[in-house]
């Protein structure tokens, strides 16, 4: 797999900015700490379409749906996304079963398709690729060489 690029860094910071908006942060906190449905049926009963809670859930799932498009198309390196503080690691386990039930209820596999793909890829990534940061990049060793030019800045001396 190719190494992350400066473009990945740019997308990382843009996505991070979205997660820091008050609207998104409030919605994500609600999903992490207050959302309580173990099935699609329970979701429909507790948080029906049009409710404030359902809107919060859709805000969070929509963010991950969008990120799933970027990662699945190779526009954002999966290591960068999965290593980021976007709270996917805490949200995905809560919604994993609900997503597939939602697709079945809608009779449409495209419903939350990218969110679902991202979650399944995350599960595989944890098993196959994840390494402790201290093992992957020991503090006594320099990280991977950065791109020579990121947004016009040079990382090595003597370059314009």
Q: What pLDDT was estimated at residue 156? A: 44
Q: pLDDT by residue (tens digit) across 133-151?
A: 566 666 777 766 554 544 4
Give dist(CA 53, CA 33) in Å, integer: 12
Least Cα distance to 94 among 18, 17, 36 occurs for 36
In the numeric block, the tokens 């404030």 are attached to 52
- Do the beta carbons of residue 36 and residue 46 sit within 8 Å? yes
Categorize the per-residue pLDDT at 21 as very low, low, confident or very high, splitting at 50, 70 and 90.
Answer: very high
Give dist(CA 141, CA 156) in Å, integer: 18
Q: What pLDDT was estimated at residue 5? A: 87
- Evaluate if residue 160 carries a pLDDT over 50: no
> Rounded to the nearest 5°, which phi and psi values hold at 62?
-65, -35
Domain spans in the chain, listed from the N-terminal domain onward: 6-129
- Evaluate if residue 94 carries a pLDDT over 50: yes
Q: What pLDDT was estimated at residue 144? A: 65
Kindly report the average pLDDT of the chain as a whole number.
87
pTM, entire model: 0.82
Categorize the per-residue pLDDT at 26 as very low, low, confident or very high, splitting at 50, 70 and 90.
Answer: very high
Q: pLDDT by residue (tens digit) across 101-117?
A: 999 999 999 999 999 99
Q: pLDDT by residue (tens digit) across 46-68?
A: 999 999 999 999 999 999 999 99
């Amino acid at each position: 797999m190719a190494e992350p690029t400066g473009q990945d860094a740019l997308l990382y910071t843009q996505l991070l900015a979205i997660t820091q908006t008050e609207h998104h942060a409030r919605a994500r906190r609600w999903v992490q700490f207050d959302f309580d449905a173990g099935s699609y049926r329970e979701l429909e009963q507790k948080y029906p379409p049009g409710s404030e809670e359902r809107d919060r859930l859709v805000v969070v799932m929509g963010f991950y749906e969008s990120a799933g498009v970027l990662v699945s198309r190779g526009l954002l390196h999966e290591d960068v996304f999965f290593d980021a503080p976007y709270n996917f690691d805490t949200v995905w386990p809560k919604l994993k079963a609900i997503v597939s039930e939602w697709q079945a209820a809608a009779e449409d596999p495209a419903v939350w398709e990218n969110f679902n793909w991202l979650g399944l890829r995350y599960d595989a990534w944890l098993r196959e690729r994840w390494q402790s940061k201290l093992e992957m990049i020991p503090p006594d060793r320099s990280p991977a060489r950065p791109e020579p030019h990121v947004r016009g800045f040079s990382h090595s001396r003597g370059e314009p």
